[in-house]
Amino acid sequence: MIIDLIKARRAVFPAQYNDKPISKETIEKVLEAGNWAPTHKKTEPWRFKVLQGEAQEKLGLFLSLKYMETDPNPKQFKVEKLIANPKKAGAIIAVCMQRDPKDSIPEWEEIAATAMAVQNMWLCCTEMGIGSYWSSPGLIKHMGGFFNLNEGEVCLGFFYMGYYDGEIPVVSRGPVADKTVWM
């Protein structure tokens, strides 16, 4: 059942990934799942940039240099993490949002549609046994210096993907009744 898949979805971090590569065909399935997200007025605002291999290394270097340039007191452990994490992933998908040039709907709806695309991708990865993590560091505001972004396009974060060994812990949620008002 879909509810079981939803409950099984977890953030699996790059440090947990193994070295098993992710095929282009598998990434295309994940992207196809994202492409079927709901979208108001059919604007389909999600844009994806797939990074593998050398592109991941370049991303890590860019992020670490940008961090050292913008943080008045950069920490060495964070520099190293910014360099290392992209290389640990089987693939990284930069999640971008292309604003409707007509502004026909509020921007938050475009962001929400893009987030729903990521949720579809995450559920697809969960079903295929691929660990995933959506990272949205403060440095994403500088990604125009790394990617060739179109006018009105912004990067909302990075969707890290990788195969992993071991079990992902089961978590719980508070009762939905505590978060619901029946009118």
Domain boundaries, the chain: 2-51+90-167
pLDDT value at residue 168: 84
Q: Judge contact between 67 and 145, C-beta under 8 A.
A: no
CA distance 87 to 84: 5
**Stated pTM of the model:** 0.95
pLDDT of residue 181: 96
C-alpha of 91 from chain center: 11
Residue 166 pLDDT: 86
135 assigned binding-site residue: yes
Is 132 marked as binding a ligand? no
Alpha carbon distance 40, 105 (integer Å): 8
pLDDT of residue 141: 95
pLDDT at 169: 81
The CATH classification number of 2-51+90-167 equals 3.40.109.10
| The pLDDT of residue 170 | 84
Residues of the chain whose pLDDT is less than 70? none
Q: Is 136 annotated as a binding residue?
A: yes
pLDDT value for 91: 98
> Is 134 annotated in some ligand binding site?
yes
- Distance CA(131)–CA(160), nearest Å, equals 8
